[in-house]
Structure 1
């Protein structure tokens, strides 16, 4: 019963979230699944590592395609960062090297922090 209520709440939170809130959910998911993948690599759980890494890759693909590249300046830099992270995620998935995860998890956390900070600033000004 409680699990069903939670699923309804979760679905509604996604269905009624703003664009900005959805973006925050994506970056939070990227951090979460990157850390799950890292632990799965340590545990030698190849299947879980693979599925978690693919989820993070999918999130960064979504972030890349949703960027407004018509805006000058920082979007091209952000696109390059996203592409680098995706490339490293593929490398981590192919090699299952913990060092690759240790290199990119801080970058993924930085991306998440960047979007959280931007969201807070926009709310202050809005």
Structure 2
């Protein structure tokens, strides 16, 4: 049950977001969770590391579920996402932040690419009107 105004705001934001905005939110979430997970490794707080690296894996699984397999790039993205999950598992098991940091870099690059693509789509849509 949603009780706080902030939770209501978040729910409204999710319900009114475009598909491109939702995708960027997923990337933002995964990035945030990996940063918190690597912070947990640094602090030797392995519960924090485990919780957040598992949350990042769940977000990447959502990215996999959102793939549209009508496009050839989906196969490549699927493989990249699977590799990211593998690396996060390795990072979590070994309590080594290097694999998670690699995933973080990939996610930030992909997020930037999707952000630029969404800006391009928005400007094209505005010109068509």
Q: Report the TM-score, using the length of structure 2 for normalisation.
A: 0.88
Report the Cα offset of residue 8 of structure 1: 1.4
The match for 1:102 is 101
What is the distance in 1 between the residues matched to 2:16 and 2:122?
Answer: 18
Instruction: Answer yes or no: is the 8 Å Cα contact 1:31–1:112 preserved in 2.
Output: no
Q: Structure 2, unaligned stretches of length 5 or more?
A: none
Q: Report the TM-score, using the length of structure 1 for normalisation.
A: 0.90
Matches within 5 A, 1:40-51: 40-51=40-51
DSSP 3-state at the match of 1:84: helix
Runs of 4+ deviating beyond 4 Å: none
Report the Cα offset of residue 75 of structure 1: 1.8
Between Structure 1 and Structure 2, how many residues are aligned? 123
1:37-76 alpha-carbon deviations (Å, 9 max, x no partner): 111110011111111111110111111121011212x222
Q: Structure 1, unaligned stretches of length 5 or more?
A: none
The match for 1:4 is 4
The match for 1:113 is 112
